[in-house]
Structure 1
Amino acid sequence: MSTLIGLLVSLYHTVFGTLERLTNGWFIGLAARFVFASVLLVYFINSALTKIGTGIFGFLSPSSGAYAQILPGMMEQVSYDTSQIAFFPFGLIVLLGTWSEFILPVLVTLGLFTRAASLGMIVFVVVMSYVDITGHHVDAATIGSLFDGNPGSLIADQRLMWVFVLLVPMLKGPGFVSLDALLGSYYRKRERYY
């Protein structure tokens, strides 16, 4: 019996040790970025598109919808008149929030400045959740609760999963299949010649 158990343990270590060696350094970061891109990239881009103004330079002037989404309480106080909201700091917050919603997901997906972009996205998701709860006053079912046995709540459950997917590239890096790795390789080769 102990020989059989020893054989099973050896087989287990061989199979999963080989799998770990074959995927080390490239798979986890790539898989996390793939999951992020397939689940959230279009979501964030579409959300950002609702926040830009009209015309070719609309990205420089967020729409009133951007203010309503990012600063709902303040917009209510000024009867949804964005001209009554000071650019600094509030207009700047809306502008940077809108740009972040375009730029950060693309950077994570491409694997460019991945650790910083992933951290930025985590902060973005936390702030977005805070605004949804305190500013948009979503109901308790939408907020949900951890360990409640219902994995469908939009904030507690889904956004926790979003953050986890972003923690992987933030902590482990984007992997070898990324622009960070490509640029890093280019600069290492360049330094050898100088």
Structure 2
Amino acid sequence: MHSTIKKYENFIPSIEERSAKPILTTLVRFTFAASLLIYFWASALTKHGDGPLGLIQPALGAYAQIFPRAMAAAGFDVGALAPWQHAVVIAGTWAEFLLPALLLIGLATRLAALGMIGFVLVQTATDLIGHGALSDPVTLGAWFDRMPDAAILDQRLIWVTLLAVPALLGGGPLSVDGWLQRRRAAYSRAA
């Protein structure tokens, strides 16, 4: 028995060193792409304004999604909002397109994952306060309640945890970051 435990204890660190990080980083980016990429892009498309200037002139719905109370108070007149609110809506729209794309290809992966975590936190605050989810127990949900499907507490915790992996470990070997790192290493050896 002692011999079996010793073999196991010697085997596990070698697996962790060689395989855990490359497998985990690749699997997490795949999981993000398979489960959240289209969600964020579809949401971004609802914010895109008409025509070629749609990315700098977001749709009315973008303002209503991001600043629901301010828009209601302004009678849904975008011109009544402050300049900083316009900047937030434009930045949020761009972020919802760009950050998932960067995670998908694994370019600036750590920064993109941190940006997505920030985006999810802002999205959650908007849903809780602006859209009233804080007072809706079904949407808000609860942790440790046997029901893992609440839109806010359960899903957003899973999203942030998922995004923490590339934020901490990078994009892995099947990423643009990994390719660039291998190119730099090859260049350094050749020089």
**One-letter amino acid of the counterpart of residue 182, structure 1:** W
Q: Which has the higher contact order (CA 8 A, sep 6+)?
A: 1
Structure 2, unpaired ranges of 5+? none
1:108 aligns with 2:103: yes
**C-alpha deviation, 1:112, in angstroms:** 0.5
**C-alpha deviation, 1:192, in angstroms:** 5.6
Instruction: Give the root-mean-square deviation of aligned CA atoms.
Output: 1.8
Give the structure-2-normalised TM-score.
0.91
Query: % of aligned pairs identical?
Result: 40
Aligned to 1:29: 25
**One-letter amino acid of the counterpart of residue 124, structure 2:** S
C-alpha separation between the residues in 1 aligned to 2:31 and 2:7?
Answer: 30
Q: Secondary structure at the match of 2:55?
A: helix
1:53 aligns with 2:33: no
Range with greater deviation from structure 2 (180-189 or 13-22):
13-22
Aligned to 1:12: 8
Aligned to 1:119: 114
* Alignment counterpart, residue 166 of structure 1, candidates 163, 166, 174: 163
CA contact (8 A) 1:25 1:176 kept: no
**C-alpha deviation, 1:120, in angstroms:** 0.4
Aligned to 1:75: 71
Deviations 1:14-52 (A, max 9, x none): 554454344144111111111111000000000000001
The list of structure 1 runs, each at least 4 consecutive aligned residues, that deviate by more than 2 angstroms after superposition, is 10-22, 184-194
Deviations 1:93-130 (A, max 9, x none): 00000000000011111110000000000010011011
- Report how many aligned residue pairs link the two structures: 189
**C-alpha deviation, 1:193, in angstroms:** 5.9
